[in-house]
Amino acid sequence: MIHDVTNPPLSARFFAYACLAGYEVVSQNDSAYKSMHGILNDYPQMTKPEVSTFSYQLSAVLAMLETAKKMQPSGALLQTYQAKLLDSCRNEGVSEEVIAGSQEYAVAISKQILKYAKADKYNLISNFPRYEPEKTPGTWYPTPPGYFPPVEPYFNTVRPFTLDSAAQFRPAPPVAFSEDKNSAFYKLMRLNYDDKKEPQHRVMAAFWDCNPFALENKGHLLVGMKKISPGAHWMGITNIACKQGKTDFSKTMLINASVAIGLMDGFMTCWEEKFRSNRIRPETAIRKYIDPTWTPFLQTPPFPEYLSGHSVISSSSAIILTHYFGAKFEYTDTVEERFGLKARKFPSFIAAAEESGMSRFYGGIHFMDAIENGQKQGVQVGEWVVKKLGE
């Protein structure tokens, strides 16, 4: 997904369906786990494939891979990973028969999941008119240097997993835009503008940047700088926690699916608000109304400001993870090490979510109300997902 530059909401969609494929295999084979049928919107009663010899764990992993391969643009690249996985299974003494059976099972499940995914209306999005900025004061306009069109302006039209609709947890409206120096909005801007960009805050901002595609500009030489998306970061944390918490395979699959569902529904509620309020980014506002030379520490991602998506999905993920691991789960986050960023220690998921929210302020890409209200919405989504999945 890094390769394809998949945008944050869309990558959540990929994670969710892949994880659901894995979980479906688990639920069919481990009686302690129930089907998502009746829990997730429109989730069908899936047919259990008639395969006699297979490993359900291996099949679950293969089902995830099968689903990801078909859904993601560069999914074919996962073929190499799959081959490696199967080789190591063979080394561990797994028989060809089991491998073949697990594979057959996985493909059958993946097909049903893909059918479910296809019906989520994502493919209808290209039918809508392309986004046009409102061009009124205080509204979002594409930001430099790329002036990219906003990602997924119609994400709210996709089928959510647990929500009634993307508008279920509509937040309080953003602080009203005003050019008046005494206005609340101006004060918000000042907060960003006056931020000292302290070294420890820069570290935080960089750690949680999670911008899938920042454009670096050297004249005609353009290079896209890429990182994993916010959702991928939390999927990474989920697996750090599962490893540290020594959860068994089935439970790991459940937790992964829960977090991914939270990501998808979190991005949906967040994106619904983003394209409802269409609020201006700090970079645009501050440069226009305070100081034309001000630049944010992080590159502004290409979509409206309110709410902070990172705040929403970090909070929803933290709530879900807390549900499974408890409120005082200490861990070390090593996810960004491959991007040259040092690991960070956190006393709890909630603490991490709070820091990730604040990092958007330190990065200069969000106003404080978008972070605070984003975190509130994330908590609501997380609690809702936990409740629904617990039913």
Partner 1 sequence: MKRIKSWTPGIIVLAISLGFLGCNKSKDSDNPKDGKTQTPLFTLLPAEKTKIDFANTLTEGLNTNVLMYEYFYNGGGVAAGDLNGDGLDDIYFTGNMVPNKLYLNKGQMAFEDITATAGVGGRERPWKTGVTLADVNGDGKLDIYVSYSGNVSPESLKGQLFINKGNDANGIPQFEESAEKYGLGAPSNSTQAAFFDFDKDGDMDMFLLNHNPKSLPILDEASTADILKKDDPLTGVRFFKNDPKADGTPYFTDITKKAGIQSSPLTYGLGIGIADVNQDGWQDMYISNDYSVPDFLYINNKNGTFTDALNASIGHTSHSSMGNDIADFNNDGLPDIFTLDMLPEDNRRQKLLAGLDNYELFDFNVKMGFHHQYMRNMLQLNQGQGGKSKVPVFSEVGQLSGVSNTDWSWASLFADYDNDGWKDLFITNGNLRDFTNMDFVKFMGDHLKRIEGQVKREDVLNMVYQMPSSNMKNYLFQNKKDLTFTNVADNWGLGEISNSGGAAYSDLDNDGDLDLIVNNINKPAFIYQNDGEKLLKNNYLKIKLEGDGANKFGIGAKVTIYNKGQKQYLEQMPTRGYQSSVSPVLHFGLGKENIDSLQIVWLSGKRESVINPKVNALLTLAEKNAKVVKPGMETANPLYNVVQSPIAYNGKASTTNDFKRQPLLINPISFSGPCLIKGDVNGDGLEDIFAGGGSGEAGKLYLQQKGGTFTSKPMPAFEADKQSDDTDAVFFDANGDGFQDLFVGSGGYATFMPEDPLLQSRLYLNDGKGNFSKSAGALPKMITSTSCVRVADVNGDNKPDLFVGGRVIPGRYPETPRSYVLINDGSGKFSDQTANLSAELANIGLVTDAAWTDLNGDKKPDLIVVGEWMPITVYINVNGKLENKTSTYFDKQYSGWWNKLLLTDLNGDGKDDLVIGNLGLNSQCKASDAEPVEMIYKDFDDNGSIDPIMSFYIQGKSYPYVTRDEMLDQMSIMRTRFQDYKTYADATVKEIFTADELEGAKELKANYLKTAYFEQGANGKFAERPLPFQSQISPVYTITAVDFDKDGNKDLLLCGNVSKARLRFGKYDANFGVLLKGNGKGGFAYIKQDRSGFNLKGDVRSVLPVGDKLLFGINQQEIKAYQIGKVQ
**Closest residue by Cα to residue 116 from 70, 65, 148:** 70
Nearer to partner 1, 321 or 358 (CB): 358
Using CA atoms, how far apart are residues 366 and 188, in angstroms rounded to an integer?
Answer: 10
51 contributes a contact to partner 1 by CB under 8 A? no
379 touches 319 (CB < 8 A): yes
Nearer to partner 1, 175 or 280 (CB): 280
Least spacing, CB of residue 110 vs partner 1, in Å: 14
| Burial environment of residue 251 by CB neighbours within 10 A (0 to 12, 13 to 18, 19 or more) | middle
> Which of 148, 193, 249, 275 touches partner 1 by CB under 8 A?
148
**Closest residue by Cα to residue 317 from 251, 239, 231:** 231
Identify the three-state secondary structure at position 256: helix
Amino acid, res. 304: P
Q: Which residues pair with 224 in a beta bridge?
A: 215
Least spacing, CB of residue 271 vs partner 1, in Å: 17
Write the binding mask 72 to 111 for partner 1: x where contact by CB under 8 A, - elsewhere: xxxxx-----------------------------------
27 touches 33 (CB < 8 A): yes
Using CA atoms, how far apart are residues 100 and 245, in angstroms rounded to an integer?
Answer: 31
Nearer to partner 1, 53 or 217 (CB): 217
Write the binding mask 116 to 145 for partner 1: x where contact by CB under 8 A, - elsewhere: ------xxxxxx-xxxxx-x-----xxxxx
Identify the three-state secondary structure at position 216: strand
288 contributes a contact to partner 1 by CB under 8 A? yes
249 contributes a contact to partner 1 by CB under 8 A? no
**Closest residue by Cα to residue 261 from 240, 235, 241, 229:** 235
> Which of 41, 339, 376, 383 touches partner 1 by CB under 8 A?
339
Write the binding mask 194 to 233 for partner 1: x where contact by CB under 8 A, - elsewhere: --------xx-xx--x---x-xxxxxxxxxxxx-------
Using CA atoms, how far apart are residues 180 and 88, in angstroms rounded to an integer?
Answer: 64
Nearer to partner 1, 3 or 187 (CB): 3
Residue ranges that bind partner 1, judged by CB under 8 A: 2-5, 70-76, 122-127, 129-133, 135, 141-145, 147-149, 202-203, 205-206, 209, 213, 215-226, 283-284, 287-288, 292-293, 295, 298, 339-341
